[in-house]
Amino acid sequence: MTSVAKRKITRPVCLGNVQIGGGAPVAVQSMTCTDTRDVKATVAQIRRLEKAGCEIARVAVPDMDAAMALGAIKKKINLPLIADIHFDYRLALEAIRRGADGIRINPGNMKPGKIREVIKAAKASGTVIRIGINSGSLEKELHAKYGGATADALVASALRNIALFEDMGFEALKISIKSSDVLTTISACRIVSQKTDYPLHLGVTEAGSIIHAAIKSSLGIGILLSEGIGDTIRVSVTGDPVSEVGVAYGILRALEIRKVGPDIISCPTCGRCEIDLVRLTREVEKKLAGMKTYMKIALMGCVVNGPGEAVEADIGIAGGRGFGIIFKKGKMARKVREKDLVPALLEEVKHLAAEKQKSR
């Protein structure tokens, strides 16, 4: 029995060597917060994102200098590069010329006539385009017609723009409909997923600082993914974009859509806990940051659920007074003093990760 619906198979598009849709794994995206004109800083951030597991990098292109910097950036990175364009179609044309793998345009702030110019250029160069509808920048007349940036208004904007692209025979499309409102995002994406077969990029826009972003994105993105909707995701965090990648994989891992990185199960501690589990958990998380191999690691403070959870995990600790028992694959492995627990656990994790790598 599964709680997650079978994924809808959408039409595939390729961003560099990353396929989106068509049954490909749900791809994790992020966006830089550097000044795109600063090539060095932007490249450094994209490399940090890549190291964290990000698979597609988007950069803001607010002016012509930023558009012209894309060529230099592209040369120095491995990830597919998306140029984020608003208002000025000439920036889109320049981004295409400079070799962006994809561009994202926002039809709410670009005229249909100008969008046609962009489509022509993208078609000639094989560039993917994301139609990125956003609650904060919906076309004015749709805002008026629907009485706000409602789900129906956002869907109407998406469909009307899809038609514009299809009229010109352009189908290398991704679609996103993002609202800062979680329920509007869910409703709009459900409808658009029924009405089209293009791959969908999911996200709750302006979701806030990390904890708020984790909540809103898990709900907005997670509920849709659990219904089989969505081909690529971006968690929006006010803060270091590297943290967006961690949250994205956390969502995918919990829903068992992609098993990447350690699943750390740790108890909330209570009046029964006899070891400093909060500190221990923090240390283990810090040491394992960026690890890609999937495994279940249980960090448990006492004997109520401790041994039970530790046994179910690949590697587990159940704490006692001043010591802990390490479990491996369901079997008690050894008893260690509290101060030696973290190194002993990390050693086991390292061994298991190496084994898993070998058996791949």
Phi/psi at 155 (nearest 5 deg)? -65, -40
* 17 vs 145 by CB, closer to a copy of itself: 145
| Smallest separation (angstroms) from a copy of itself to the CB of 46 | 12
Q: Are 69 and 2 in contact (CB under 8 A)?
A: no
**Residue of the chain from 10, 218, 232, 293 that contacts a copy of itself (CB under 8 A):** 218
By CB under 8 A, the residues from 85 to 104 that bind a copy of itself are 86
Residue 169 DSSP symbol: T
Query: Site for a copy of itself (CB under 8 A): which residue of 39, 215, 333, 344?
Result: 215
Cβ closest to a copy of itself, residue 35 vs residue 171? 35
CA atoms within 13 A on the CB side of 41: 9
When asked if residue 269 is in the footprint of a copy of itself (CB under 8 A), the reply is yes
Task: Out of 23, 112, 136, 322, point to the residue binding a copy of itself (CB under 8 A).
Answer: 136
CB-based contact 239:210 (threshold 8 Å): yes
Residues 295-314 that bind a copy of itself (CB under 8 A): 298-300, 304-309, 312
Strands 295-300, 315-319: pairing is parallel
Which one, 45 or 172, has the nearer CB to a copy of itself? 45
Which positions from 273 through 292 interact with a copy of itself, judged by CB under 8 A? 273, 277-278, 281-282, 285
Shortest Å, Cβ 38 to a copy of itself: 9
CA torsion sign for 80, 46, 351, 315 is: negative
Instruction: Examine residue 230 and tell whether it contacts a copy of itself (CB under 8 A).
Output: no
Q: Does residue number 245 form part of the binding site for a copy of itself (CB under 8 A)?
A: no
List the structure tokens of 215.
């909540």
Nearer to a copy of itself, 56 or 247 (CB): 247
Among positions 216, 231, 242, 293, the unique one binding a copy of itself when judged by CB under 8 A: 216
21 to 166, 175, 230, 270, 342: CA distances (angstroms): 18, 11, 8, 44, 40
* Interface size with a copy of itself, residues (CB under 8 A): 92
Residue 145 makes contact with a copy of itself by CB under 8 A: no
Q: Interface residues for a copy of itself in 52-71 (CB under 8 A)?
A: 59-62, 66
Q: Which residues contact 279 (CB under 8 A, 6 or more apart)?
A: none
> Is 69 in a helix, a strand, or coil?
helix
Q: What angle do CA 267, 349, 270 make, to 5 degrees?
A: 10
> What is the C-alpha R_g of the chain?
23
d(CA 232, CA 225): 10
Structural tokens at position 55: 């698979």
The nearer residue to a copy of itself, 88 or 171, going by C-beta atoms, is 88
- Contact status: 342 vs a copy of itself (CB under 8 A): no
Site for a copy of itself, residues 25 to 54, rule: CB under 8 A: 31-37, 42
Q: Is 113 or 268 the residue whose CB approaches a copy of itself more closely?
A: 268
261 three-state secondary structure: coil
3-class DSSP state of 191: helix
Which residue stretch of 112-120, 135-143, 335-343, 345-353 sits at the interface with a copy of itself (rule: CB under 8 A)?
135-143
